[in-house]
């Protein structure tokens, strides 16, 4: 977006980057404002899109933290790493009559 401001408004890189940050954070225009109609149109499209994206991203992160998705993913990754390190092992599903007998035979 910085490059678009550089091309449309003929701003320096720093001024264009400033415009990008001001637009994304929706803190308003004070010292620099788009002067051409093309710059204003771009800003009118850019601000709502980035606000929507930022809101979605923050909501997703907050919901993930609240619902515990992030910690579950980290736990899953840890478990996957432990499984990759395992060698020469068996998994017995079910520990009824048959499972108990299978465990005895494997133990011997």
* pLDDT, tens only, 12-37: 998 888 888 888 777 766 666 777 88
Whether residue 39 is predicted with pLDDT greater than 70 in this model: the reply is: yes
User: Residue ranges of the alpha helices (H) in the chain?
Assistant: 2-9, 13-25, 37-67, 69-85, 97-107
Q: How confident is the model at residue 88 (pLDDT cuts 50, 70, 90)?
A: confident
Tokens of 10: 């003929």
Q: Which two tokens stand for residue 81?
A: 């790493």
Q: What is the pLDDT of residue 50?
A: 83
Contact 40, 4 (CB under 8 A): no
């Amino acid at each position: 977006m910085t490059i678009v401001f550089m091309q449309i408004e003929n701003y320096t890189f720093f001024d264009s980057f400033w415009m990008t940050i001001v637009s994304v954070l929706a803190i308003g225009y004070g010292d620099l404002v788009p002067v051409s109609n093309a710059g204003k149109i771009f800003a009118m499209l850019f601000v709502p899109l980035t606000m929507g994206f930022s809101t979605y991203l923050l909501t997703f992160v907050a919901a993930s933290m609240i619902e515990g998705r992030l910690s579950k993913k980290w736990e899953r990754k840890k478990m996957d790493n432990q499984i990759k390190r395992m060698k020469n092992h068996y998994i017995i599903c079910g520990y009824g009559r048959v499972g108990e007998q299978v465990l005895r035979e494997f133990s011997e």
